[in-house]
Amino acid sequence: MPRSENYLKKELYSLIKEDAKIFEFLQSGATDGMWYWDLEQPENEWMSDRFWTELGYDPTKNSHHASEWQDIINQDDLQLALENFQKHCDDPNHPYDQEVRYRHKDGSTVWIRCRGIVIRNSNNQPYRMLGVHSNITALKESEARYRTSLKKIDHAYASVKLALEESERLFEMAPDANLKLDVRGNIIKANQQAEELFACPRNKLEQLSVFSLVPLAKLEKYQQAFRQYFDPCYTGDSLFKKSLAILDYAGRPLTIEVTLNLIPTRAGKIALATIRDISEKEALIQSLQHQLEENQKLHALALSDPLTKIFNKRHFNNMMLEEHNKAVRHQQRLSLILFDIDHFKAVNDNYGHDVGDKVLMQLTLFIKQFVREEDTFARVGGEEFAIIAPFTNTDAALTIAERIVEECAKHPFVINDQQQINITVSVGTASLSSTDKTWSPLFERADKALYQAKRLGRDQVQVSAIF
């Protein structure tokens, strides 16, 4: 039984062919420029309007020659792009993907992530190339500013000497808030930065205990935390450094980093507290962590089947390539198990597509018990599934497949509160051959074995012979 494509996919592909507005929407919404290159006449290259406007140029004044962009790209980056181009032509698995710099019309630098794919003719020779641009200038500038800011802060912090009795001038000029404290936590002296940080006049600060900077009436837990972090310093001679969230004297929330040194003097021990406001740094870190988590969620969604929550066909293809390459490189076993539900159309016809979806989800959960941690379990069609089984030979794959068939036939699938149905599956397996240059022959053999199982009556396993 041939596997049918989703009707929406067919419809979208037809719309792209018939309606140029659909393609324009995709390329304008998903890229910062697109290009299409004639490799047989390499001077000829079409660049979209967005390609030029991102670089500050009027696209109507460009003649679609490759030399136009080659004149404004950083020449070191051009060499990198040409080297990657040649490697990609020689090996399609080598990605044409690099970050390059262009000279904007106003003289500034524009960072571009440039990705492309070679298109081959019937003789498998490269004759066209399609590529897209993504403007990553803001990200590059943000990274540079963040590194520069951290370097400046760390340099300034390291330059401040904790020589209180030796240099009052250093105390006053320190870039961070400084407080002199006695062993009871009373503030002996404060600098201008402390006054600004804690939103409290200096003469008022110098009448307070350090613990009074977080008034008990405002939020008790902050004052308790403040005292908990400060007290240990007075019982030893070691350097104390902590980050904590507090409220300043005006009630404003702050995240601070406190470095506390106990200094022996002629009059007894005093403490020097250097306090840095790291609220913005913490906010930036949290923002970056949140963005990373969101990106990870989006990545997971892109690789998952929305109904069954297992991997989709796209991730299956990627993992087949990866596992095939590893198996060939390390001379390891690799098997593929393909199976689909027998007479699944009858389930949908008799009970409705909602019940069909329930069966697919229940089957997925049921099959997971036969899938090892190193396997890849994916939905590759409407009712067709695949298990990529590394380190697995033909006999082991057959054992797994036979157990799936046997256990599935005995398992009841619940379709409502009072009704259950039984389903069977047909399975085809194949194992990697030393002659398999890509993963496609392995998939084709497993697919043929699956359809052989269905032709021979279903509810069984067929193993592909290796030729």
Give yes or no for a contact between 185 and 204, defined as CB atoms under 8 angstroms apart. Answer: no
Q: Is 99 assigned a catalytic role?
A: no
Span 356-383, mean pLDDT? 94
pLDDT tens digits for range 62-114 = 889 989 999 999 999 999 999 999 999 999 899 999 999 999 999 999 999 99
Q: List the catalytic residue out of 383, 384, 402, 406.
A: 383
Q: Measured between alpha carbons, how far is 5 from 81 in angstroms, rounded to an integer?
A: 37
pLDDT for the residue 216: 42
221: pLDDT strictly greater than 80: no
**DSSP label at residue 94:** S
Q: Which amino acid is located at 185 in the chain?
A: G
Those residues whose C-beta lies under 8 Å from the C-beta of residue 88, and which sit 6 or more positions away, are: 94, 95, 96, 116, 117, 118
pLDDT tens digits for range 169-188 = 667 777 788 888 787 778 88
Q: Measured between alpha carbons, how far is 44 from 286 in angstroms, rounded to an integer?
A: 47
The distance from CA 80 to its chain's CA centroid, rounded to whole angstroms, is 25
Span 334-359, mean pLDDT? 94
Q: Which residue has the tokens 């897209």?
A: 132
Question: What is the Rg, in whole angstroms, of the alpha carbon atoms belonging to the chain?
Answer: 33
Q: How many CB atoms lie within 10 A of CB 205?
A: 21
DSSP codes joined into one string, 214-252: S-TTT-HHHHHHHHHHHGGGGGSSS-EEEEEEEE-TTS-
Strand partners of residue 334 = 390
Q: Which domains does the chain have, with CATH numbers?
A: 18-135 (3.30.450.20), 154-282 (3.30.450.20), 303-463 (3.30.70.270)
When pLDDT is cut at 50, 70 and 90, the band that residue 5 belongs to is: confident
Parallel, antiparallel or unpaired: strands 187-190 and 419-422 = unpaired
Q: Which residue has the tokens 């390499």?
A: 42
Helices then strands, each counted (H, E), the chain: 16, 17
> For residue 252, which phi and psi values (nearest 5 degrees)?
-85, 130
Span 416-424, mean pLDDT? 88
| The token pair that represents 265 in the structure block | 């003097």
pLDDT tens digits for range 300-321 = 666 889 999 999 999 999 999 9
pTM for this one? Answer: 0.43
Parallel, antiparallel or unpaired: strands 461-463 and 425-431 = parallel
